[in-house]
Amino acid sequence: MQVQNNIIEKIRKIAKQRTRHYGCHSWDHVKRVHDLCVFIGKKEKGDLEILKISSLLHDIARNGGRGNHAVKGAREAERVLFRLGLQRAKVSEIVNVIKTHRFKTREKPLSLEAKVLSDADKLDAMGAIGVYRASAFGGETSRSFQGTIGHFDEKLLKLKDRMYTATAKKLAKKRHKFMLVYLKQIEKEIGLKS
pLDDT of residue 4: 73
- CB count within 10 Å of CB 27 equals 17
pLDDT of residue 141: 85
N- to C-terminal Cα separation, the chain: 60
Backbone φ, ψ for residue 26 (5° rounding): -85, 180
Distance of CA 142 to the CA centre of its chain: 22
- Identity of residue 12: R
pLDDT of residue 64: 54
What's the rounded Cα separation, in Å, for the pair 25 and 156? 15
What's the rounded Cα separation, in Å, for the pair 74 and 63? 14
DSSP H helices, 67-165, are: 69-83, 88-99, 112-123, 127-140, 145-154
pLDDT of residue 168: 98
Q: Angle at which helices 166-191 and 27-44 pack, to 10 degrees?
A: 140
Dihedral in degrees, nearest 10, Cα atoms 107, 110, 115, 121: -20
What's the rounded Cα separation, in Å, for the pair 127 and 170? 13
pLDDT of residue 102: 72
Burial of 23 (0-12, 13-18, 19+ CB in 10 A): middle
Low-confidence stretches of the chain (pLDDT < 50) are: none
Rounded alpha-carbon distances, angstroms, from residue 143 to 18, 25, 29, 186: 26, 16, 20, 17
**pLDDT, tens digit, for every residue of 78-114?**
999 999 999 999 999 999 998 988 766 667 898 999 9
pTM above 0.95, yes or no: no
pLDDT of residue 148: 92
Phi-psi sector, 45: left (phi>0), alpha (psi -120 to 50), beta: left
Question: What CATH topology corresponds to 5-191?
Answer: Hypothetical protein af1432 (1.10.3210)
Q: By C-alpha distance, which of 129, 54, 146 is closest to 97?
A: 54
pLDDT of residue 92: 94
